[in-house]
Amino acid sequence: MNWYEQAVSREAAILHDLKGLLGIKSIFDPETAAPGQPMGEGIAEALRFMLELCEAEGFRICNHDGLVGYAEYGPEDAEHYIAVLSHLDVVPVSGAWITPPFEPAIRDGKLYARGAIDDKGPAMASFYALKIVKDLGLPLKHRIRLIFGTDEERTHRCMERYKELEPMPACGFTPDAEFPIVCAEKGQINTRIMFPPTQLGQEVNGDYELVSFHSGVVANMVPEAAEAVVAGQADRLNALEQAYHTYCREMKLIGSMEQVDQKIVLHMTGKAAHGMEPHLGTNAGLALIHFLMDYSWDEGSGHFLNTVDTLLYDDVYGRALGIAMEDDISGPLTVNSGLLQYDPQGESFFHINLRFPICGTYDELLKKISARIAVHQLEMEPPSLKKPHHVPEDHPMIRALQETYLAETGQTAELLSTGGGTYAAHFPMGVAFGPLFPGMESTAHQPNEYIEIELLLRSTAIYARAVSELGNLKL
């Protein structure tokens, strides 16, 4: 069977349906949340789109209150099912896009849109993979279930609901990482570290007052923009402007400023990256704070700036927090601070998105963080926790996927780990399988996100073969 030819013969249909899905603005929207669409109107529309596509193909479908849905093909009386898990929600749009992020556009063999690679393109590849198996009338011993989640980019509440309502799969994969096979995932700790409330009416005893500071849109992205509003005497603000020009030039950063109501507004532009790879980005918030902390501030401002700089600047591995660690299977612990805020009339905090190797535990990390932040009079909000995940290399699914990858690419399928939190970790025998090939650029969560059309077709072929193999796996 030439699986790649089967995928190529369906290229026009794949692109047509994928463009339709990418045109849906499926960002979490609590303002339009309602019964049947708990994540908001756009995400509910994307779920309906995929389920209607699957139903038209003859797959059995189920929609659990707009939170999670699935489509199934194969013998209804089969004892086991194999899961293929993808998500239809996308992160918010940020940065400058060449074309509108929800108006899919093809340029130079690439399809550009928010969600193209994360994760709507792979979701569509999985659908067409199962369609190829069905079109060819290939036998299946187990059911194949395409599961579509709606809250992957935030809390994975969709998968928690799924596990409450549905039996577990025998095994499965998610097309939401990279090839060859990601069999280990780091654990995660997500929490806000809160500063004590600023005392109203306190005397401003420094040269400057930080009126406000904001950086970041979501916790699992390296923030590419930050803004600080600073008050002070005119001559001191002028001096700060000149120093900011020098700092940006020397540090090779992009900064700008403006005068607003006798205050100066400083803007910093960084480089966005996924929160699991903070070393690939430039945190605009931390870069701006590192400049500001060298000056004389009122007590509340100074505490915020100096503390954040001490605990987070130029340190994505948690050394200053006293939590650095790594192992041979899943690599080093990483820390991303995707949200930073100083508001003397409200909340002041920094968020940490911490990803730790399988050698670590929640208890030891939370104990160390709590001790370190207590020195700075900070408090930790109740954290969101995710356990590390690992599937042993001798599992029959691993061997089947390795053989599939070798047959379709000619390359050995080495086992990988990731700092990302995919749906695979929700099931004891789940792995991530593609869609990116080794060395390929990932534009997930970034401006001008894209998927290469050739990648889309090759991953569809690989998934079709994988579905056929896993659907007949000896369990």
Residues annotated as catalytic (active site), given as ranges: 89, 152
Residues 187 and 386 sit within 8 Å (Cβ to Cβ): yes
403: left (phi over 0), alpha (psi -120 to 50) or beta: alpha
Tokens of 282: 């430039």
Identify the CA nearest to 423 among candidates 72, 119, 87: 87
Residues 62 and 73 sit within 8 Å (Cβ to Cβ): no
Identify the CA nearest to 165 among candidates 189, 151, 147, 186: 147
Q: Rounded to 5, what percent of the chain is helix, strand, coil?
A: 35, 25, 40
Sheet holding 110-112, edge to edge: 105-107, 110-112, 450-452
